[in-house]
Amino acid sequence: MNTFLLMCWEFFKTGLFAVGGGLASIPFLREMSIKYGWFTLDQLTTMIAVSESTPGPIGVNMATYVGYEMFGIAGGLFATLSLVAPSIIVICIVAKMLEKFKQAKVVQGIFTGLRPAVVGFILSAVVSIFLMALFNVDAWKASGAVMDLFKWKAILLFAGLMAFNHFKPKLHPIFMIIIAGAAGLLLGF
């Protein structure tokens, strides 16, 4: 299959099955990285950071970023459209049917079952991001030294921002993003 069409298909599947929003798309992107090698896991971490720090839904930002990196403007556009197409299709179908069946026990049961799955997808994404951001398994495997497993600058920044957030909980998240970006620039991440 043509790589462009394959990318569109993968993002369509991601949009169809990443129930729970953009963070739920991260495991699918991780699989794309491993299966196709379109981008590395380090690049995925960068994509997540860029997508989280720019306006808009993270899943859409990620699709646009990956598509653009692979095929330029056309790739960004079609990856994004491929990701959102299932949502548009499903929401049109659901909107028609939900009004009619929203009190049905089957529909309520389906939504009750989907909630834990959504939490699982999001938790999986959080764990993946946490591990990619703070640990360097490849360096550890190469050297065998336990100290190489940890990304010390990232861990210190993480701990500092967590402490800062604890003592200044009303600080707007944009300031945390700016602080993290500046620290990354100054510390040479």
pLDDT tens-digit series, residues 15-48: 988 877 777 888 888 899 889 988 888 888 888 8
pLDDT level of residue 84 (50, 70, 90 thresholds):
very high
Name the burial class of residue 88, with classes exposed (0-12), middle (13-18) and buried (19+) by CB atoms within 10 angstroms of its CB.
exposed
The residue count for the chain: 189
Is the pTM higher than 0.85? no
* Cβ atoms of residues 150 and 136 within 8 Å: yes
pLDDT recorded at residue 62: 83
CA–CA separation, 186 vs 180, rounded Å?
Answer: 10
Residue 3 CA neighbour count, 13 Å, CB half: 10
